[in-house]
Amino acid sequence: MSLYYETAAILTRPSTGGSLKTRIYGNKSLKSPPAQVYALAFESSKWSAILKEVVENSQLLQHERKLTPAVAILLVHDLLLAKKGISLPPSHGLRVAVERHKARLQAEFTKARIRRKCPTLDALKAAVEAQLGPVHPRWVRVNVIKTTVDDQLATTFRGFEVVPGIDEVIASAGMEKKVLCLDPHVPNLLAVSPGVDLTKTDAYKAGEIILQDKASCFPAYLLDPRTEDGDIIDACSAPGNKTTHLAAVLHPRRGFAAGQKRKQRIFAFEKDPERAKTLEKMVAMAGADRDVVIRGGQDFLKVDPYAPEYAHVGALLLDPSCSGTGIVGRDDAPEFHLPSVPSQGKNAKSNPKKRKHQTTASGFPQPSSSNPNITVADDNGNTTVLSSPATFKARLASLAAFQLAIIQHAMKFPAATKITYSTCSIHAAENEAVVAAAVSSPIARARGWRVLRREEMVRGMKEWPVRGDKDAYIEEVEGNERGEKRVKQIGTGGKKDIRRLTDEEIEACIRTVRGDGKGTMGFFVACFVRDRDSGDNDDDGPYLRDENGRIIRDENGIPTLKATGQKAVDFEALRRAREEEEDDGEEEPMIKSLSNPDDDDGEGPFLRDEHGRIVRGQDGMPVLKQGAGRGNDDGGREDDEDDKDDEEEEDEWDGFDD
């Protein structure tokens, strides 16, 4: 009995946010199995528009006063549509109350089918499924670490008809015939008939097949990691689909990079300890634990890119938190239609004050023009209702700043030459606009990062037809509908700092659109690349220069390194270190001027030739003008022997460490 009452309570109770599945599985007070409650809630909601007619036309609630509208819908659903009927003992009062009207209920159900011009029950089921919105295939990635596509076609998918295209797969929804097609864009990916449950198969339990949306497979495939790329980082890994896909892409290419005696590793970062446990389980199940090093509880943004263990990281996959607008509603139940309540006699009066809002399936008031609600999802699939467009825009701006920070941090890794950036958002503010801000950033300019062009991509991504949304991007950049010119500031960049993406760069961005017939969720991915050693070793040395070829310096005359985008010497950090280590105030100043004020000619402290170019030694480092000083390498702590050595070497300078 608790199954029907608990399910009715969840469907009619006002919600504080979260998908139907999240609200059910997160309810620790349920006595009934959550899976059973969810199945009953979802299926009954899906059929509730028809069942509402059946209950009302059969006058069930007039005859059975103890039934509530919600419980009546649930019981009638199981009576007419569930294979095992009502899940109650035969003598239970609720079951008896409904089954005594079985003939009348079945007659009204038949009339409802005929009104919808459906000749059979299967045709009616297909019509109901079609009203739920876009139908998606069941996407299955064959895990080549453990098996092959041919093996799975001969075992798990034996009896499935192989069809040439996704249209045939989508059309098989609601039919008994099971079909599949091999995806033409992503290797080892299958599209299977919607609704097919593969979670109970041996292949799924053994990690041989992984349920993963097609769009979610794009980042690892686009990154295309190879042995020469060295180690790989997945910056935001849980639950592990993309991490295990990276391992699968590497599997047939396993080996050692040229000149290295160590195998490639995948560093998987997940700052949430609980999600890291899920990641660990999935990596082990997929057989990828030999190649994946899990950094559970570690925040990628706090990782030192220059740490020795990351010296060989050449490729990074970034899939940071986003608004989740490409997947919202995927697990939500359809609207739960309730039959009208019969009046309690002649003098019964409706009380208009009792219910101010009509409720929908999840218990939300119907949105009105005065109270528009926008729903977003987090990494766990939990949805949140934002109260106003202004709140939503503020959230997008905050997310975009975080996403940009992730990209810029990834660009600092010394050996990195490839980065993919992806979101499950439909908004240009998180997609094309973030890409524009990233390629305009100082670190990108300093190290030569650019957007990977379409013609340079792997075949499947080059052939994918849906590209960046130019109109949405221009609208985001140029302003609102009244034509007001504005550019959103992301991070520290302003209008003059962020250049527009070219048409070629927008074409290089990849999108998927939910409901366009291609069977995917809403998604975005782009790839940043740079030539190996680009911007680090050129004829102008290791420092940034302006358009006139002059080294860019700060007020202290310190140049900026191309490799990191940071100052060659951080005076403030040295000062703080000095203050912490000082025992008394009698030591010599740790920091000396890099140039002699009397000799300041506006060109800095380095010697130049007759063409104005800085003179460099054999090691490529600039030569100081006579009389220029330098800071001590040991942070200011010297003994007498060090003083003597410094006096002997005061005319020698090895340059700034790059």
> What is the residue type of 77?
H
The half-sphere exposure of 552 on its side-chain side, counting CA atoms within 13 A, is 14
DSSP 414-438: TT--EEEEEES---GGGTHHHHHHH
270 is in an annotated binding site: yes
> Which tokens is 338 given?
């309730």
**Rounded to the nearest 5 degrees, what angle is found at the Cα of 540, between the Cα atoms of 538 and 544?**
100
Catalytic residue among 181, 217, 322, 424: 424
Paired tokens of 656: 């700034």
* 325 contacts: CB under 8 Å, gap ≥ 6: 376, 377, 424, 425, 426, 427, 522
Rg (CA), the chain: 32
Residue 236 labeled ligand binder:
yes
Residues recorded for the chain: 658
* CA 155 to chain CA centroid, nearest Å: 33
The answer to whether 299 is annotated as binding is yes
**What is the rounded distance in angstroms from the CA atom of residue 247 to the CA atom of residue 184?**
21
- The terminus-to-terminus CA distance of the chain in angstroms comes to 72
- List the one residue out of 280, 273, 265 whose CA is nearest residue 225: 265
- Annotated binding-site residue? 26: no
Report CA dihedral (169, 170, 176, 178) to the nearest 10 degrees: 20
Which residues contact residue 214 at a Cβ distance below 8 angstroms, ignoring those fewer than 6 apart?
139, 183, 185, 186, 189, 191, 512, 518, 519, 520
Side chain identity at residue 433, one-letter code:
A
Q: Which tokens is 535 given? A: 């911007």
| Residue 40: partners with Cβ closer than 8 Å, 6 or more residues away | 3, 4, 7, 74, 77, 78
Can you tell me the distance from the alpha carbon of 416 to that of 314, in angstroms, rounded to the nearest whole number?
4
Is 241 part of any known ligand binding site?
yes
**Calpha distance 58→505 (Å, rounded):** 61
**Residue 367 annotated as binding site:** no
Active site residue 322: no
242 in a known ligand binding site: yes
- Whose tokens are 């740790």? That residue is 590
Q: Is 475 one of the annotated binding-site residues?
A: no
Task: Report the alpha-carbon angle 86-87-93, nearest 5.
Answer: 75
| Residue 239 annotated in ligand binding | yes
Which residues, at least 6 apart from 354, have a Cβ–Cβ distance to it below 8 Å? none
Instruction: Name residues whose C-beta falls within 8 Å of residue 527's C-beta, 6 or more positions apart in sequence.
Output: 222, 223, 418, 419, 420, 421, 451, 452, 457, 508
Does 188 count as an annotated binding residue?
no
Tokens of 380: 């766990």
Dmax (CA) of the chain: 111
Listed in sequence order, the residues at least 6 apart from 437 whose beta carbon sits closer than 8 Å to its beta carbon are 400, 404, 490, 491, 493, 498
* 97: enclosing H helix or E strand: helix 93-99
Q: What is the dihedral of CA 231, 234, 240, 243, to 10 degrees?
A: -30
Residues at the binding site for S-adenosyl-L-methionine are 236-242, 270, 299, 319
Residues at the binding site are 236-242, 270, 299, 319
Q: Which sequence positions are flagged as catalytic?
A: 424
